[in-house]
Every structure is written in C-alpha cells, then in structure tokens.
Amino acid sequence: MPAAAPTIDDRLLRFIQGSPPDDSPAELTRAAGELAWQLGLVRPCYETVRLIAHCREPPRARLTAATLVRVIDTLYEYPAPGLGDLYDRYRRGEG
C-alpha cells in the first residue's frame, strides 16, 4: 500500500492561502518550505502548494477615491442616472 502524503498544518495552509496572488507556485513552495522548516514540520510538495494556491479567493477590488466620486456623481444625476439628456430635451420642448 502506498504511503499517503502528510496533512498540511493549519499554519502552512493559512500562509499559502493568504499569500499575494502574484506569487508564483515555485516562489510560494519555497516560502512555505522555509516556514515549515522553522516550525519543524514536513515541507509541502510543489503540487499541493499549487493546488491550495489555485483554490484561494481572488483578490477583492479596492474602492478608490476616483471610483467613489464617479459612483456618487452617477447616483446624484437628475432626474435619474442616464436620463439627463432626455430631461434636457423635454425642458427645451423637443419631446
């Protein structure tokens, strides 16, 4: 019967899942291996690290000040977002 791979410690799992999304699997494997060495754990294999990294959540988009201003400007358009031209034509009597 073939030996099973050791389970990954929760600390290593959190480290891999919390890593920056632009880290390559090779860089992440080296960093996780170094952390495992420091913690006295078995070093995770490349394939396991790659699978865990692939399943992590995508980074959330940050709301910048410029985006927020655009959103607020759109919300406070009168009479409603996207209807400004229609309202202007109505006021000029163009129908």
Assess if residue 66 is contained within a domain: yes
How far is Cα 43 from Cα 34, in angstroms, rounded to an integer? 8
Instruction: Return the axis-axis angle of helices 46-55 and 25-39, rounded to nearest 10°.
Output: 110
Which of 4 and 58 is assigned the larger pLDDT? 58
* Structure confidence at residue 22 (pLDDT): 83
Assess if residue 5 is contained within a domain: no
DSSP structural state of residue 82: T
pLDDT surpasses 60 at 94: yes
Q: How many domains does the chain have?
A: 2
User: Percentage of the chain with pLDDT > 70?
Assistant: 81
Same domain, yes or no: 51 and 70: no
Assess if residue 77 is contained within a domain: yes
Of 23, 38, 55, which residue constitutes the final position of a domain? 55
Q: Which two tokens stand for residue 73?
A: 């400007």
pLDDT in tens, 45-62: 999 999 998 887 666 667
* pTM of the complete model beyond 0.85: no
The beta-carbon contacts of 86-90 under 8 Å, at least 24 apart in sequence, are none
Same domain, yes or no: 79 and 49: no
Which of 61 and 71 is assigned the larger pLDDT? 71
Distances (CA, A) of 13 to 7, 22, 32, 51: 10, 17, 9, 11
pLDDT surpasses 70 at 79: no
